[in-house]
Amino acid sequence: MLELKSLNYQPATAEKAVLVDINLKARRGFPIVIAGASGSGKTSLLEIISGLANLQKGKVFWKEKLLSQRERRWLCGMVFQFPERHFLGLTVGQELRLGHRRISTELQQKVLTKVGLAELDLRQSPEQLSGGQQRRLALAVQLLRKPEVLLLDEPTAGLDWSVRGEILDLLKGLAKDRLLIVVTHEPEFFRELSTQVYHLFQGRLLEKSKFVGANQTK
């Protein structure tokens, strides 16, 4: 279980706190969706959990062990809001191998199959891929690290409807084997993924609403 206790975060350049007294418990198999308007602190929260940013106050535990910022980096895989902006490799193959020089072809193929890119030509550049393929590639890059916690920042932002549905199905599959946290400004889209929906409002994790089954909400 991942546990956040009294997290507070105020970047040096921010006038006021970006995250205030955040408490959350998350377990594998029970994906969490965190909704919030633009500027509510969604990306900041994922940056803290994943150790990309450090907090001023509060603690992050994994299996009841207190984690340092560095340990959080190992634990978590973060898929950015627009991951395609962060591609560094000249080819898809290079992108997959960045940071994993000794990765086996079997593992690479297994992960590509998992994200639905088994047939991809690894010699093309990531820019040549469609928006949905680019998101899948970004997910594959993180899955290769075998993170126990997968954090997704607006995984469907900027994608068209059919592709968003595909990504949602992919996430439903991934959620079975690892802890998943999705932040989004459109929680209703992720209804099928999770019954655990939290709301961030001006840096506070305010309320938790449990969606009843989709067919009961009408």
**Smallest distance, Å, CB 173 to ligand ATP?**
26
**Smallest distance, Å, CB 43 to Mg ion?**
3
Out of 31, 32, 43, 55, the residue judged to bind ligand ATP by CB under 6 A = 43
Q: Between residue 168 and residue 187, which ones bind ligand ATP under the rule CB under 6 A?
A: 185
Does residue 49 bind ligand ATP (CB under 6 A)? no
Pick the closer one to Mg ion by CB: 51 or 155.
155
Compute CA 100 distance to the chain's CA centroid, rounded to the nearest angstrom.
Answer: 20
Report the partner that residue 155 touches, choosing among Mg ion, ligand ATP, none (CB closer than 5 to 8 A by kind).
Answer: none
The contact set with Mg ion (CB under 5 A) reads 42-43
Report the partner that residue 41 touches, choosing among ligand ATP, Mg ion, none (CB closer than 5 to 8 A by kind).
Answer: ligand ATP
Does residue 86 bind ligand ATP (CB under 6 A)? no
Q: Closest CB to Mg ion belongs to which residue?
A: 43
Pick the closer one to Mg ion by CB: 16 or 102.
16
Does residue 134 bind ligand ATP (CB under 6 A)? no
Does residue 39 bind ligand ATP (CB under 6 A)? yes
**Smallest distance, Å, CB 122 to ligand ATP?**
31
Q: How many CA atoms lie within 13 A of 137 on its CB side?
A: 31
DSSP the chain: -EEEEEEEE--TT-SS-SEEEEEEEE-TTS-EEEEE-TTSSHHHHHHHHTTSS--SEEEEEETTEE--HHHHHHHEEEE-SSGGGG---SSHHHHHHTT-TT--HHHHHHHHHHTT-TT--TTS-GGGS-HHHHHHHHHHHHHHT--SEEEEESTTTT--HHHHHHHHHHHHHHTTTSEEEEEES-GGGGTTT-SEEEEEETTEEEEEEEPPPGGG--
Residue ranges in contact with ligand ATP by CB under 6 A: 11, 13-14, 18, 36, 38-44, 81, 185
